[in-house]
């Protein structure tokens, strides 16, 4: 950030909070029900839970709570850094765009493992990232009005 502050051109940095784990957990639970009825659906679902302990049902609530705490601390730190920057050439923002993003159903997840996003899920994440970047883009003189669509 020191190098950016001293540059002759404007720079912008956006720090994103962690994704909305409550929303993710809801659709992952739906994928688990689908898999229980038809094991050919989401065939690697159980393997991902074994590999990532946070995906196990008994750990999800704690993971969501930890993400909220982490996001709160991260936001406070970024806001403090932003105040301390004291620069007209460098902008720093915290974005809750991912933390506020809602998944709509299992089709937002990979049909293989219900962990990675599907193409539809990636489009939602991408739209959220762009929305979160809007203040930084405006700071840089880039207009995004009407260019970022809402994905349901």
| Tens digits of residue pLDDT in 27-78 | 999 999 999 999 999 999 989 888 888 888 899 999 999 999 999 999 999 9
- Structural domain of 83: 2-139
How many structural domains are present in the chain? 1
Is 152 a member of any domain?
A: no
Query: Is 113 part of any domain?
Result: yes
- 118, part of any domain: yes
Q: What pLDDT, on the 0 to 100 scale, is given for residue 149?
A: 59
Does residue 149 belong to any structural domain of this protein? no
Residue 144 lies in a domain: no
Q: Tens digits of per-residue pLDDT, 74-91?
A: 999 999 999 998 888 899
130/95 Cα distance (integer angstroms): 10
Burial of 57 (0-12, 13-18, 19+ CB in 10 A): exposed
């Amino acid at each position: 950030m020191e190098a950016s502050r001293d540059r002759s051109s404007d720079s912008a940095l956006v720090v994103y909070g962690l994704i909305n784990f409550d929303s993710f957990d809801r659709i992952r639970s739906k994928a688990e029900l689908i898999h229980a009825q038809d094991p050919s659906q989401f065939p690697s679902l159980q393997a991902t839970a074994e590999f990532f302990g946070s995906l196990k049902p008994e750990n999800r609530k704690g993971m969501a709570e930890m993400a909220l705490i982490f996001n709160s601390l991260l936001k406070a730190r970024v806001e403090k850094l932003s105040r301390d920057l004291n620069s007209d050439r460098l902008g720093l923002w915290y974005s809750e765009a991912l933390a506020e993003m809602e998944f709509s159903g299992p089709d937002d997840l990979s049909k293989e493992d219900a962990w990675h996003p599907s193409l539809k899920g990636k489009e939602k994440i991408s739209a959220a990232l762009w929305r979160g970047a809007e203040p930084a883009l405006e700071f840089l003189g880039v207009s995004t009005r009407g260019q970022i669509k809402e994905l349901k």
